[in-house]
Chain A
């Protein structure tokens, strides 16, 4: 299996770029898709944001200095693309971010790509109600099983602050599920 350093070097070399980019897409497309999907919840939006993520990576690979790991750089771009897409949607519809989240949650019930039961729908509602950072940390820790050190590199926050965020997020979700 190709190492991350070699892959970056090949991506920057115009001769090997196409092949290396295909390797990159195949390696990360599923992980990044689910990361984005949990933020935007809707498949079509996730698909758009994922494509935008890889296009951005392709265009900016020369600017990647290697100060951080490749996967954390990719996750950071994916997170930004997902959040930007939501902001654009709320701006286009002239509603707030929270109103848009509620609207997306309501639409989940009729979404053909969502087959959750009542409890799963409530869990998504509880996550959607969390502040942006807590939402990200909870998803990455709970669903993606990323380590705190890895999340720390992606969201550029200290491990201590992340632990506190995750703890708060779990408490809020549990409280919401008990109440409802």
Chain B
């Protein structure tokens, strides 16, 4: 099968190889950048040839282990933690407790957790009743819905309410 011409059946455009050099030159010129290839930095003469020997000649510096400080980090952290806790406690204690600072919940928890051994009469004696006015109570009128909900939840015996007496009146 080799009797055919070497390049047949492929053809090329007329004068393709004659014009090829010019075409190639145009592409090469187009690819040439105006940016300089040299960045301007130079190194001393024989710098890279002598870098090995200069490294060996360099004075030996003491190598300090980083782990050496590790124990101190723990000690410093512990001391800092102690100081922090101390100041926090101190700051808390210095705040002055006033009646206004107390929340209802704090008072409730206090009475729940501490045995006071005071009777109702004793408590009443302590309370400054003289300074109380009827309006202190009436200023906060009871909501009918709240009252209803309260009775629903807490009342088991309706007779205690004396509804019949109330109806009679």
Give me the interface of A with B, judged by CB distance under 8 Å. 22, 25-26, 29-30, 33-34, 37-38, 41, 43, 47, 50-51, 54-55, 58, 112-117, 120-121, 123, 142-143, 177
> Which one, B2-10, B44-52, B116-124, B152-160, is touching chain A?
B2-10
Return 18 A-B CB contacts under 8 Å, by A number.
Answer: A22-B21, A26-B21, A29-B17, A33-B12, A34-B10, A41-B10, A43-B11, A55-B27, A55-B28, A55-B31, A58-B28, A112-B11, A113-B13, A115-B11, A120-B8, A142-B2, A143-B6, A177-B1
The distance in angstroms between the C-alpha atoms of A84 and B4, with both chains bound, is 29
- Using Cβ atoms and an 8 Å threshold, which residues of chain B touch A33? 12, 17
Interface residues as binary, B13-28 with A (CB distance below 8 Å gives 1, 0 otherwise): 1001100110110011
CB–CB B20/A29 < 8 A? yes
Interface residue from B1, B2, B4, B24 paired with A54 (Cβ < 8 Å): B24
- Using Cβ atoms and an 8 Å threshold, which residues of chain A touch B1? 123, 177
**B4: nearest residue on chain A (CB-CB)?**
A120
CB–CB B23/A116 < 8 A? no
Question: How many chain B residues touch A (Cβ–Cβ < 8 Å)?
Answer: 20
Q: Tell me, rounded to whole Å, the shortest Cβ–Cβ distance linking B145 to chain A.
A: 73
Interface residue from B2, B4, B6, B24 paired with A25 (Cβ < 8 Å): B24
Secondary structure class of chain A's binding surface, majority of residues: helix
CB–CB B20/A25 < 8 A? yes
| A37-B10 contact in complex given A29-B17, A30-B17, A142-B2, C-beta closer than 8 Å | yes
Shortest 5 CB-CB contacts between residues of A and residues of B: A116-B9, A113-B11, A120-B9, A115-B9, A51-B24
**A21: nearest residue on chain B (CB-CB)?**
B28
- Using Cβ atoms and an 8 Å threshold, which residues of chain A touch B11? 43, 112-115
Q: Tell me, rounded to whole Å, the shortest Cβ–Cβ distance linking B27 to chain A.
A: 6
Q: Tell me, rounded to whole Å, the shortest Cβ–Cβ distance linking B42 to chain A.
A: 19
Q: Tell me, rounded to whole Å, the shortest Cβ–Cβ distance linking A88 to chain B.
A: 17
Q: Tell me, rounded to whole Å, the shortest Cβ–Cβ distance linking A89 to chain B.
A: 18
The distance in angstroms between the C-alpha atoms of A116 and B11, with both chains bound, is 10
CB–CB A43/B13 < 8 A? yes
CB–CB B9/A43 < 8 A? no
The distance in angstroms between the C-alpha atoms of A58 and B2, with both chains bound, is 35
**B6: nearest residue on chain A (CB-CB)?**
A143
**Known pairs A25-B24, A34-B6, A113-B13. 4 more at Cβ < 8 A?**
A29-B21, A43-B10, A116-B9, A123-B1
The distance in angstroms between the C-alpha atoms of A177 and B9, with both chains bound, is 17
Q: Tell me, rounded to whole Å, the shortest Cβ–Cβ distance linking B2 to chain A.
A: 7
Q: Tell me, rounded to whole Å, the shortest Cβ–Cβ distance linking B25 to chain A.
A: 9
**A44: nearest residue on chain B (CB-CB)?**
B13
- Using Cβ atoms and an 8 Å threshold, which residues of chain A touch B31? 55
**A26: nearest residue on chain B (CB-CB)?**
B21
- Using Cβ atoms and an 8 Å threshold, which residues of chain B touch A38? 10
CB–CB B13/A34 < 8 A? no
Q: Tell me, rounded to whole Å, the shortest Cβ–Cβ distance linking A143 to chain B.
A: 6
The distance in angstroms between the C-alpha atoms of A34 and B9, with both chains bound, is 12
**A52: nearest residue on chain B (CB-CB)?**
B27
